[in-house]
Amino acid sequence: MCGRYVSATPPDQLARFFGAASLVGMPGDPDERYVGNYNVAPTQGVFTVYESSGERLLDRFHWGLVPFWAKDPSIGSKMINARAETLAEKTSFKRPFATKRCIIPADGFYEWKKVDGHKRKQPMFLTTIDGSPFAFAGLWEVWSKDGDVDATGEPRQLFSCTIVTCEPNATIADVHDRMPVMLPPDAWDTWLDRDNRDLEALQDLLVPAPSGLIRMHPVSTEVNNVRNNGPHLVDEVEPVTGG
């Protein structure tokens, strides 16, 4: 699964990278600098690239997909990931797989590696070789509660998303039995196109990324606590050794 990741690239740069119009405002003071999130956790707001009315957009969605039929949004905490192999079968995911696919940008993500002779696992940080953002395949959905409207009388809506996972590549297999699907640039148009209903062809995109794309190093156990944040979390540390 993918349960914790890094989102450090400012939204205006993400919008340019993914060719999207940004709906995310930047700080009003030009002297303010974007403060990235180095310990993104489920149920937080996360940057999401999606298509609406033929336009590619960047916005913040709730991480943890809330199906349109859910009675309340708490179900989303159990749907932070979706297995690629069963997207077309699961009640929660088959509709968004057909019509609401997205990309969730990440500057890296964390996994926890077992260490012989130790109860505590070693957190590892995984990022791209060239430092560019990952493009995690995702699904999105819109949920609203009956009778809940905003000041204008429009339904109050919750936009949520989930990260699609697949079997691991050789780099990640030693750490975890799943990995996020990482879409290459030449697959972005196909994945985001809401008119594309060729589920078989879309399923073919959901494969492990090449091992050569990813580098990995050990990081501090500070990342284990979601209250800890800051760029120091991705600094390389001496790994815990067996014994």
Catalytic residues: 2, 111
d(CA 62, CA 66): 9
d(CA 68, CA 227): 30
DSSP 95: H
d(CA 99, CA 139): 9
Taking Cα atoms as reference points, which of 182, 193, 202 lies closest to residue 50? 193
Instruction: Output the six-digit token pair for 155.
Output: 């339904």
DSSP 25: P
Do the bridges between strand 5-7 and strand 108-113 make them parallel or antiparallel, or are there none, so unpaired? Answer: antiparallel
Give the three-class secondary structure for 188: helix
Instruction: Output the six-digit token pair for 100.
Output: 């609401």
